[in-house]
Amino acid sequence: MTEAEIIKAISQRLQAERLRLNLSQHALADKAGVSRRTIVQAETGHNTSVATLVRLLIALDAVSLLEPLTANPDEGPDAVIKSDGKKRRRASKPRNPRPPEPQQHQPPTASSSFM
């Protein structure tokens, strides 16, 4: 998906959730503590902050839509085993794989020839 497609999908989902709950834009704005204009902007794909998006999702009781983003990948048995209890704090440079060592060609010996 492109950035524009993602923004459009999020905007449409916000509007669909609001309408599913039978809330007007004014009612959602009051419930979320934002202006009606903010609702209009969010539902039409205009620039909306993450904080505003979270407020709207809380007001719509749709925070579960963020679960894939808020799930902690560092939890769970596989992550604990791999990490040895250490938490990454920064990204590292890509490591160059070690080039394969050149193979030395050995001339055939008398005992290895077929006759």
* Cα gap 41→23, rounded to integer Å: 16
Is residue 42 a contact partner of residue 53, using CB atoms and an 8 Å limit? Answer: yes
Q: Does residue 94 register a pLDDT over 70?
A: yes
Q: Which two tokens stand for residue 108?
A: 């055939």
- Choose among 13, 42, 16: nearest CA to 29: 42
The residues spanned by each domain of the chain are: 3-62
User: In terms of Cα–Cα distance, which of 5, 8, 2 is closest to 45?
Assistant: 8
The predicted model gives 97-110 an average pLDDT of 67
Query: Average pLDDT for residues 72-90, to the nearest whole number?
Result: 61
Residue 39 to residue 74: CA distance in whole angstroms: 34
Question: Is the model's pLDDT at 109 over the cut of 70?
Answer: no
Superfamily designation of domain 3-62: lambda repressor-like DNA-binding domains (1.10.260.40)
Predicted TM-score (pTM) above 0.75: no
Residues 24-72 have pLDDT tens digits of 999 999 999 999 999 999 999 998 999 999 999 999 999 888 888 777 7
